[in-house]
Amino acid sequence: MAGVQLLFSGTLQTAMKGLENLISGLFLRDEEQNLQGRRLRVVGLRHDPYTRYHLSPLGPAYPVIPLISIDFSILEAVASSLNFTYEARPPEVPQFGLPLGDGNWSGTVGTLQHEEADFSFILSMTPGRMKVVDYSRIYRSESLCIMSPKPKTLAQYLQLFKPLSGS
């Protein structure tokens, strides 16, 4: 019989501390636990509710102004724990990333591929992208999906002919 199972009980701060420990334990060696105030470059598109920001009034060449969102909350907690700062910018081409046909990519993937950023916010994992960028472990499931309407019942006079093809 299906039921409800409690997976976590505590505050958001407790959960974020657990996430920091998980991330640092999975990806960093002991000597990398303190990044000594290093400034890291982050690239990402706005994608509510995960990544929210305002563009700088000085223009797109300047870092964005973070707003309360899931990705920035995680980034703040990890930056505090690992002692680094960051500047976040949108990709030059405002898209997640498409192959350009010559081995290069556009958007966020292209920015990472050409080492113009150290890491990105939300970016779906695809086989093509995995050839040019490294992914961390996924911390959330994708909210996007393909949807279509349910098929309607055919009129009785079409039920004999609809399955057949041809002219």
Q: What is the pLDDT of residues 23-52, one digit of tens each?
A: 555 555 555 678 889 999 999 999 988 899
CATH number of the structural domain 12-158: 3.40.190.10
pLDDT of residue 30: 58
More confident residue, 28 or 77: 77
CA distance 104 to 123: 17
Across the range 91-111, mean pLDDT stands at 94
Residues β-bridged to residue 43 = 89, 120
Percentage with pLDDT > 70 across the chain:
71
Length of the chain: 167
Place of tokens 């309407």: 149
CB 118 within 8 A of CB 46: no
Q: Which CA distances in Å does 13 have to 78, 109, 165?
A: 12, 31, 61
CA distance 13 to 75: 13
Across the range 7-34, mean pLDDT stands at 60
Domain spans in the chain, listed from the N-terminal domain onward = 12-158
CB 50 within 8 A of CB 69: yes
CA distance 126 to 104: 15
CA distance 19 to 73: 11
